[in-house]
Amino acid sequence: MTTTRRKWWPWYGFAFGCVLLVFAFGDAGAGHGTDLPLLLFGAPFSLVPVVGVLAAPIWWAIVGWSLKDQRLIAVPVMVVHTCAIVLLWWFGNPWVSREDEWRSFHRFEEFAPVWLWSGIAVHAVGVVVAWVLAIADWRRA
């Protein structure tokens, strides 16, 4: 794939991040849901206070940029994202205890399981696609 075919990928990443942000805001449920997807979708930038709320579009634009010119930076970018996801799943976020985080996650899961898991599935597909492209570019180099 030539670089001209990938010139819009940062914008595609930004759009993908916006879709994830819609899911995450729905999951947050005006403070009555769970913020775990909001943290996961934009990890690691989601851990930055205040601006972390809008981290998903920014992060996924960076992922698109790293894949744009078949750069070798895409693999480290995806490693950082994947490690941050694992740490957030395991430890929760620094502002809420792990028990409270999972309690709110399960409470929202009972309320709107399709919405919650649809957002997580969309994110998972995006992560897998980004990994496949990053590894393919890495092997080509």
Q: What is the pLDDT of residue 10?
A: 93
Query: 59 with 45: CB under 8 angstroms?
Result: yes
pTM, 2 dp: 0.88
| pLDDT, tens only, 22-62 | 999 999 886 678 888 989 999 999 888 777 889 999 999 99
Cα radius of gyration (the chain): 15
What does the mean pLDDT of the chain come to? Answer: 89
Query: 37 with 123: CB under 8 angstroms?
Result: yes
Q: What is the pLDDT of residue 47?
A: 85
Least confident of 7-16, 58-67, 101-110: 101-110
The total domain count for the chain is: 1
Mean predicted confidence (pLDDT) in 113-132:
96
pLDDT > 60? residue 2: no
Query: 92 with 101: CB under 8 angstroms?
Result: yes
Single-letter amino acid, residue 122: V
**CA distance linking residue 38 with residue 47, whole number of Å:** 10
User: Which residues, 6 or more positions from 38, have their beta carbon under 8 angstroms from its beta carbon?
Assistant: 21, 24, 25, 27, 28, 46, 53, 56
pLDDT > 90? residue 64: yes
pLDDT > 50? residue 1: no
Structural domain that includes position 77: 3-140
pLDDT > 90? residue 76: yes
